[in-house]
Amino acid sequence: MATAAMKVGERMKKVIIDTDPGIDADKEKLQQSDSKYARYLCKPLAHYFDYHREVYFTKGKGVYLHDPTALLAAVNPSLMTFAEGAVRVQTAGITKGLTLFRSNDKRYVEMTAWTGMPTVKVAVAVDAPAVVELMMQRLMADDY
């Protein structure tokens, strides 16, 4: 789900990165859980939390859950709001790597560089509390 982490235009804000749920407040619950999965994840998560605090200045605000959120978008898409449109990535110049999204909601009378481009679904919002709740339930579930 590479599209789940793409930046999109002003109107759409940033996908997943800004709306991604954080679990900083739930870290202690995982550490105290009887689940072997939660206990197993606590050690690598400690490094992940430290990294986010240092690089993204997220102290007390949680961590970004890009990969699990993208997986949940595939497993339970009702947790996300999607928009359909064309995606383009700048490959040269000062904007190299910039990802652009043109929603199918925008219509042009004339032919543009966007005309005829294939479309994809991009997550533009996430039900963060529901995602965190589902992840915590799964991680702290009784061992199988």
Cβ-Cβ contacts under 8 Å for 20 (sequence gap 6 or more):
64, 65, 66, 69, 126, 128
Please answer whether residues 69 and 77 qualify as being in contact, where contact means their C-beta atoms are separated by less than 8 angstroms: no
pTM higher than 0.85? no
Q: pLDDT digits over 60-103, tens only?
A: 666 777 888 888 888 899 999 999 999 999 999 999 999 999 88
Please answer whether residues 94 and 29 qualify as being in contact, where contact means their C-beta atoms are separated by less than 8 angstroms: no
Cβ-Cβ contacts under 8 Å for 122 (sequence gap 6 or more):
3, 4, 6, 8, 12, 15, 82, 83, 84, 85, 87, 101
Which pLDDT score, from 0 to 100, does residue 83 have? Answer: 93
